[in-house]
């Protein structure tokens, strides 16, 4: 039996069901990649983003109030956002929850208002919105919702069904808006992910039986460690003996960055962390061997109330088994983005300007370090760091101003989101889309120049870098008028596929030929982990013969997936 309104309890179920449905479809969504390369990660990024929020929602229990629920969805997704699709999803959720926070329940009209606010917020977050994407699908759903409200629709079940049906129709039309989708024979992967979230939520509203348990793998916290569950503790020796709970009555600012730092501290002294911030209070739960440490840290933010400390080693084990299981937290594990947790205070001496770069491959990492980059976030294709990972890494650089180099077009939005959330330091994003662009940016940094002048110089110089990458195709398709067969080698440039064939050397040379012009002076070759040094040396020799007026540099990059990353300047 359904209702014509949605309260916090129902919305919580709908959100968790939407998250679970997306998670179950993530590999299929990954395969909807336009380019047939082995690095499709839209489904993974969207899943990790929404599961970060789902973990927060699950911690609220079965009867959350709307304000706490909205806070959990918004802050959890913002912190966990990965990749362009994940960041856009987090902004959709941010706008949606901003519209409904504080309401006891939503009518069809109020839900339509929330859809509008979601779309408005997401579009504002993207500098150059592109139609035929998740944004288009979201806007189509919101427009249908408004149309139904204006027509007098009040039945919530019918309303949701028709909105989702129209969103699916808009999704089916995305290839007509983006020719590259039409050529590849796929719909937009981010839009597909959004439809799956909406479909799962609708199933929950209609009463479909759904397992709302968030799996251990999906409960990864911002640091990549996992929350410890009571059932798991009952099966082994209790590591942290005191169950500590309290509420902080805030007397100073406690924004998202402060919340993340506080959680990181709690993870360093215990496990089973729950930290949910409302307008002026923070609800805290932690298992630790020294409750005093948690209390002292909390007192920096305000007064404490409802303080409760239980010695779990003396309590009956039945209490532990009754509560839902979660895996043991590891305070020294690495996050998917490669950032160790918990965040430690910077060991370097203070400096005015520092650098943070996203990189993958031991050779490339060493290049960045040799050029003076202070901290590396290991990541790239298939392993985009989250907004929280980037903020954690910022804590490792003891500088007033930090330039961040995403070095991947799918990480720029998360870096920008981190810059917006950062309050203690000046974080400037240089929108590098490739590793060679990042290297060029660092090389052109001049310590004697001002921050502003360096930013302008780096932005100009990365625009002079052409990048090509050689990988293999994972399916048959046609793109840029090129017939591609599974297993073919592909040379992919900044704006599309430059060469295709079954001989890696020939494909690589054809790609470089398409990049070089009369003004080219330098060709830099970074060979990957699957390329032998001898083969890379042969490529260098042939490039030297073909382009005698260009300097040819060959370096070991060690990057996965891409056999060669080559820049022309």
As beta bridge partners, residue 403 has 355, 428
Q: Residue 357's closest CA among 342, 377, 343?
A: 377
Q: Residue 544's closest CA among 558, 530, 525?
A: 525
Q: What CA–CA distance (Å, rounded) separates 66 from 58?
A: 14
Q: What CA–CA distance (Å, rounded) separates 191 from 202?
A: 17
Q: What CA–CA distance (Å, rounded) separates 95 from 82?
A: 18
Token match 């990492």: residue? Answer: 365
Which tokens go with 328?
A: 């043991």
- Average pLDDT value for residue range 61-80: 90
Q: What angle do CA 244, 249, 253 make, to 5 degrees?
A: 115
Torsion of CA 318, 322, 326, 331, to 10 degrees: -40
**Helix/strand/coil for 61:** coil
Q: How many CA atoms lie within 13 A of 72 on its CB side?
A: 25
- Average pLDDT value for residue range 316-338: 39
First to last CA, the chain: 65
Residue 326's pLDDT is 36
The DSSP output letter for 64 is: -
pLDDT interval class at 216 (50, 70, 90)? very low
**Residue 99 in this model has a pLDDT that exceeds 50:** yes
Distance, C-alpha 396 to centroid of its chain: 20
What values do phi and psi take at 25, rounded to 5? -105, 5
pLDDT interval class at 225 (50, 70, 90)? very low
Q: Tens digits of per-residue pLDDT, 141-167?
A: 999 999 999 999 999 999 999 999 999
Render 164-190 in DSSP notation, one character per residue.
HHHHHHHHHTHHHH-HHHHHHT---HH
Confirm if 509 and 489 have CB atoms less than 8 A apart. Answer: no
Q: What CA–CA distance (Å, rounded) separates 256 from 240?
A: 27
**Helix/strand/coil for 288:** strand
Q: What is the mean pLDDT of the chain?
A: 85
- Average pLDDT value for residue range 93-111: 94
Residue 390: CB atoms within 10 A of its CB come to 29
pLDDT interval class at 345 (50, 70, 90)? very low
Write out the H or E segment, with its range, that includes residue 351: strand 351-359
Q: Give me the sign of the Cα torsion angle 232, 221, 329, 60.
A: negative
Q: Residue 339's closest CA among 279, 388, 289?
A: 388
Helices (H) and strands (E) in the chain, counts: 22, 18
Q: What CA–CA distance (Å, rounded) separates 380 from 385?
A: 8
Most confident of 233-247, 343-357, 410-424, 513-527: 513-527
Q: How many CA atoms lie within 13 A of 475 on its CB side?
A: 16
Confirm if 81 and 417 have CB atoms less than 8 A apart. Answer: yes
**Helix/strand/coil for 498:** strand
Residue 384's pLDDT is 87
- Average pLDDT value for residue range 369-391: 87
**Residue 233 in this model has a pLDDT that exceeds 50:** no
- Average pLDDT value for residue range 280-305: 86
- Average pLDDT value for residue range 375-402: 87
The length of the chain in residues reads 569
**Residue 297 in this model has a pLDDT that exceeds 70:** yes
Residue 186: CB atoms within 10 A of its CB come to 20
Q: What CA–CA distance (Å, rounded) separates 349 from 490?
A: 45
Close Cβ partners of 504 (under 8 Å, ≥ 6 residues apart): 470, 489, 563
Which tokens go with 387?
A: 């907004």
Q: What CA–CA distance (Å, rounded) separates 293 from 68?
A: 26
Residue 53's pLDDT is 92
Residue 164's pLDDT is 95
């Amino acid at each position: 039996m359904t209702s014509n309104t949605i309260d916090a309890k129902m919305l919580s179920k709908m959100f968790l069901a939407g998250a679970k449905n997306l998670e179950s479809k993530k590999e299929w969504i990954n395969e909807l990649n336009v380019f047939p390369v082995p690095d499709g990660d839209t489904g993974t990024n969207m899943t990790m983003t929404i599961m970060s929020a789902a973990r927060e929602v699950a911690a609220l229990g079965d009867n959350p109030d709307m304000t706490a629920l909205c806070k959990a969805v918004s802050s959890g997704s913002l912190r966990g956002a990965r990749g362009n699709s994940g960041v856009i999803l987090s902004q959709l959720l941010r706008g949606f929850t901003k519209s409904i926070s504080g309401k006891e329940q939503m009518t069809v009209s109020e839900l339509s208002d929330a859809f509008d606010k979601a779309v408005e917020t997401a579009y504002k977050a993207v500098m150059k919105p592109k139609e035929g994407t998740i944004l288009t699908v979201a806007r189509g759903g919101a427009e249908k919702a408004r149309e139904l409200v204006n027509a007098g629709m009040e039945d919530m079940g019918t309303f949701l069904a028709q909105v989702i049906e129209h969103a699916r129709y808009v999704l089916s039309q995305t290839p007509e808006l983006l020719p590259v989708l039409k050529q590849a024979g796929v719909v937009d992967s981010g839009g597909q992910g959004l439809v799956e979230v909406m479909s799962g939520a609708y199933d929950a509203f209609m009463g479909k039986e759904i397992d709302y348990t968030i799996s251990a793998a999906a409960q990864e916290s911002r640091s990549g460690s996992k929350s410890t569950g009571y059932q798991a503790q009952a099966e082994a020796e209790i590591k942290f003996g005191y169950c500590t709970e309290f509420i902080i009555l805030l007397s100073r600012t406690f924004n998202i960055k402060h919340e993340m730092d506080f959680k990181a501290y709690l993870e360093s002294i215990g496990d089973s962390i729950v930290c949910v911030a409302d307008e002026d209070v923070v609800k805290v739960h932690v298992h630790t061997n020294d409750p005093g440490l948690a209390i002292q840290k909390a007192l920096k933010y305000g007064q404490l109330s409802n303080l409760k400390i239980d010695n779990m080693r003396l309590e009956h084990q039945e209490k532990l088994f009754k509560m839902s299981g979660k895996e043991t937290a590891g305070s020294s594990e690495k996050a998917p983005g490669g950032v160790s947790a918990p965040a430690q205070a910077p060991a370097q001496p203070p400096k005015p300007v520092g650098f943070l770069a996203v990189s993958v491959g031991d050779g490339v990492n060493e290049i960045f370090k040799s050029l003076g980059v202070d901290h590396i976030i290991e990541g790239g294709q298939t392993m985009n760091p989250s907004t929280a990972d980037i903020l954690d890494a910022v804590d490792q650089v003891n500088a007033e101003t930090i330039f961040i180099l995403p070095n991947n077009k799918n990480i720029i939005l998360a870096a920008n989101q981190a810059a917006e959330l950062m309050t203690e330091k000046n974080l400037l994003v240089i929108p590098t889309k490739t590793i060679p662009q990042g290297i060029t940016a660092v090389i052109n940094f001049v310590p004697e120049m001002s921050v502003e002048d360096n930013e302008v110089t780096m932005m100009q110089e990365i625009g002079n870098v052409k990048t090509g990458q050689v990988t293999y195709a994972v399916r048959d398709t046609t793109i840029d008028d090129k017939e591609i067969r599974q297993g073919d080698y592909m040379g992919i440039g900044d704006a599309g596929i430059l060469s295709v064939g079954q001989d890696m050397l020939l494909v690589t040379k054809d790609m470089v030929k398409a990049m070089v012009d009369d003004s080219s002076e330098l060709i830099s070759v970074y060979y990957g982990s699957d390329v032998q040094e001898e083969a890379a040396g042969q490529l260098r020799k042939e490039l030297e013969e073909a382009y005698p007026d260009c300097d040819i540099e060959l370096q070991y990059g060690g990057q996965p997936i891409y056999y060669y990353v080559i820049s022309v300047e």
